[in-house]
Structure 1
Amino acid sequence: MGMPFELNTLIVTKGNEVRQQGNQFTLKKDGYRLYPIDIPIEVRHTIESDYRATAKIQKVEWENNQTIITYQLLALHSSN
């Protein structure tokens, strides 16, 4: 039996991101998701919203059918 997962090429926060310190955030997503690490990717509030920031994912954790990403915000393009 295989493990279902998604391959994501951008971060969609839906307002659930948590600031850790400075420009570092964590985000929990349901299910198992694979993200690119150590390269700049887009951050959006929703999949349909405008491109609002650039971030670099530093860590991806899978646990209890959840994915937890830790990322550093590199550039903010919109405050909303």
Structure 2
Amino acid sequence: MGMGLELNTMLVTKGREVRKKDNLFQLQKEGYRLYPMNTPIEVRTTKKSHSRGYAMIEKVQWHDDQTIIFYKLISLNKTN
């Protein structure tokens, strides 16, 4: 029996990100997901929304069919 795994090349937050400190955020997603690490990756609120900026993923944790992503926002396209 295999493990379901999704490969992502963009961070889609859906507004669920949690600021941990300064530009460091945590995002929890359902299922097991794989992201490129230590490479700039685009951040969007939804798949079809405009880009909010770029982030570097620093840590990914898999546990109980969930993925927890820790990322640092490295550039912001515009402020709220």
TM-score bracket, shorter-length normalisation? over 0.9
Provide the C-alpha distance between the structure 2 equivalents of 1:66 and 1:78, rounded to a whole number of angstroms: 30
Provide the C-alpha distance between the structure 1 equivalents of 2:64 and 2:32, rounded to a whole number of angstroms: 9
Q: Does 1:61 align with 2:55?
A: no
Give the deviation of 1:52 after TM superposition: 1.2
Aligned residues: 80
- Corresponding position of 2:27: 27
Provide the C-alpha distance between the structure 1 equivalents of 2:54 and 2:15, rounded to a whole number of angstroms: 16
TM-score when scaled to structure 2? 0.97
Is the partner of 1:78 in helix, strand or coil?
coil
Is the partner of 1:52 in helix, strand or coil?
strand
Provide the C-alpha distance between the structure 1 equivalents of 2:30 and 2:3, rounded to a whole number of angstroms: 14
- Corresponding position of 2:13: 13
Unaligned runs of 5+ in 2: none
- Corresponding position of 1:71: 71
Unaligned runs of 5+ in 1: none
Provide the C-alpha distance between the structure 2 equivalents of 1:78 and 1:63, rounded to a whole number of angstroms: 33
Deviating runs (4+, > 6 A) in structure 1? none
